[in-house]
Chains A and B, each alone.
Chain A
Amino acid sequence: MTQLLDIKGLDIALPANSQRPLAVSGMDLQLSTNEIVCVVGESGSGKSLTARAIMGLLPAPHVRVASGEILFNGEDLVKVSDDRLRALRGSEISMIFQEPMTALNPVMTIGVQIDEVFRFHQKMPSKERRARALQLLHDVQLPDPEQALKAYPHELSGGQRQRAMIAMALALDPKILIADEPTTALDVTTQAQVLKLIKEMQETHGTGVLFITHDFGVVADIADRVCVMQNGLVVETGTRDQVLRHPEHPYTKALIGAVPDLMPRPARPRSDETVLKVNALEKTYRSGGGLFGGKGREVHAADDVTFDLARGETLGIVGESGSGKSTVARCIVRLNDAEAGEILLDGVDLRPLGRAAMRPHRSKIQMVFQDPFASLNPRTRVGKIIAQGPIMYGATQQDAKARTLELLDIVGLDARAYDRYPHEFSGGQRQRIGIARALALEPDILVADEPVSALDVSIQAQILTLLDDIRERMNLSMVFITHDLRVAAQVCDRLAVMQRGKVIEVGPTAQVFADPQAEYTRQLLAAVPGKDWFSKPDAPKVVAAAG
Chain B
Amino acid sequence: MAFFKLFARNRGALIGLIILGVVTFLAATAHLFFPDDPFSLAGTPMSGPGQNGYLLGSDSLGRDVAAGIAHGAKTSLLIGLLATLVAVCVGIVMGALAGYHGGIIDNLLMRLTEMFQTIPSFIFAILLVAIMKPSIESIVIAIAVVSWPAVARLVRGEFLSLRNREFVQACHTLGMSDTRIILGEILPNCLSPVIVIGSLMVASAILIESGLAFLGLGDPNIMSWGFQIGAGRTLLRSAWWICTFPGIAILLTVLAINLVGEGINDALNPRLRERS
List residues of chain A with CB under 8 Å of any chain B CB: 62, 291, 333-335, 358-359, 362-363, 365-367, 369-371, 374-380, 388-389, 392-393, 434, 437-438, 441
Contact = CB atoms under 8 A, between A and B. Distances in A.
A61 B165 CA distance: 33
A357 to B, nearest CB: 11
Contacts of A370: 166
A367 B170 contact: yes
B185 interface: yes
Nearest to B180: A392
A377 B107 contact: no
B169 to A, nearest CB: 6
A158 B136 CA distance: 60
B35 interface: no
When A and B form their complex, which 4 residue pairs have the shortest distance between CB atoms, in order from nearest? A362-B175, A375-B166, A369-B166, A377-B167
A244 B262 CA distance: 54
B89 interface: no
Given A62-B274, A291-B107, A374 B166 contact: yes
B174 A388 contact: yes
Contact of B185 (A369, A375, A377, A441): A377
A362 B175 CA distance: 6
17 contacts: A291-B107, A335-B169, A359-B175, A363-B174, A363-B175, A365-B173, A367-B169, A367-B170, A371-B166, A374-B166, A375-B166, A377-B185, A380-B188, A388-B174, A389-B174, A392-B174, A437-B170
Contacts of B170: 367, 369, 375-376, 434, 437
Given A358-B175, A437-B174, A438-B173, 14 more contacts: A291-B107, A335-B169, A335-B172, A367-B169, A371-B166, A377-B185, A377-B189, A379-B188, A379-B189, A380-B185, A388-B174, A392-B175, A393-B175, A434-B170
Contacts of B107: 291
Nearest to A367: B173
Interface size for chain B: under 10, 10 to 19, 20 to 34, or 35 or more residues?
A: 10 to 19
Interface of B: 107, 165-167, 169-170, 172-176, 185, 188-189, 274
Nearest to A363: B175
A378 B107 CA distance: 29
A392 B176 contact: yes
Residue of B170, B176, B274 with highest tally of chain A CB at under 10 A? B170
A362 B174 contact: yes
Nearest to B104: A291
A222 B171 CA distance: 43
Given A359-B175, A362-B174, A362-B175, A376 B167 contact: yes
Main secondary structure of the interface of A (DSSP, over half): loop
A214 B41 CA distance: 82
A432 B122 CA distance: 54
Contacts of A335: 169, 172-173
Given A377-B185, A378-B189, A366 B274 contact: no
Nearest to B167: A377
Given A62-B274, A377-B185, A379-B188, A441 B174 contact: yes
B4 to A, nearest CB: 18
A432 to B, nearest CB: 14
Nearest to A330: B169
Given A291-B107, A379-B188, A379-B189, A374 B167 contact: yes
A392 to B, nearest CB: 6
A334 B185 CA distance: 20
Nearest to B165: A374
A62 B169 CA distance: 36
B187 to A, nearest CB: 10
A509 B89 CA distance: 56
A62 B173 CA distance: 41
A279 to B, nearest CB: 21
Contacts of A359: 175
Nearest to B274: A62
Nearest to A443: B173
Nearest to A373: B166
Contacts of A334: 173
A356 to B, nearest CB: 10
A369 B169 contact: yes
A163 B188 CA distance: 43
Residue of A333, A374, A378 with highest tally of chain B CB at under 10 A? A374
A377 B174 CA distance: 14
Nearest to A379: B188
A379 B185 CA distance: 8
A441 B175 CA distance: 11
Residue of B166, B172, B173 with highest tally of chain A CB at under 10 A? B173
A70 B173 CA distance: 52
Contacts of B174: 362-363, 366, 388-389, 392, 437, 441
B15 to A, nearest CB: 26
